[in-house]
Amino acid sequence: VHISPRSLPKGLHSLDLSRNKITNVEGLWELTKLRVLNLSYNRISRIGHGKSQTWGSCIALDIFCNFLSTRFLSGPCTPASYPRQ
């Protein structure tokens, strides 16, 4: 699945992209007002590797159940647990 940030509202505060077979999240850096991002249960193998980008004002990032190694994590966000509904 490819996510195009241009198709999303610039003022988006919360985004749940869990369970979508996403492999790349590089374009989401453009969402500077994003505060909560759920990327759990996807196929992401790296986030921000080799980039000097930030997640804007993001304060919660859920990356549970992806193909990540801790050496590929960067940016000001920390993993967060979301209550499952």
Please list the pLDDT of the chain residue by residue as tens digits (85 residues). 667 778 888 889 999 999 999 988 877 878 888 899 999 999 988 876 544 455 667 889 898 999 887 655 544 444 444 344 3
Is there a domain that residue 30 lies in? yes
The tally of domains found in the chain comes to 1
Report the pLDDT value the prediction gives residue 70, as an integer from 0 to 100: 61
Three-state secondary structure call for residue 85: coil
Burial class of residue 24, CB neighbours in 10 A (0-12, 13-18, 19+): middle
Structure tokens at 64: 């549970």
Name, in order, each residue with C-beta under 8 angstroms of 70's C-beta and a sequence gap of 6 or more. Answer: none
Is there a domain that residue 18 lies in? yes
End-to-end Cα spacing for the chain? 23
Report the pLDDT value the prediction gives residue 18, as an integer from 0 to 100: 95
Structure tokens at 48: 């921000």
The range of the structural domain enclosing residue 21 comes to 1-79
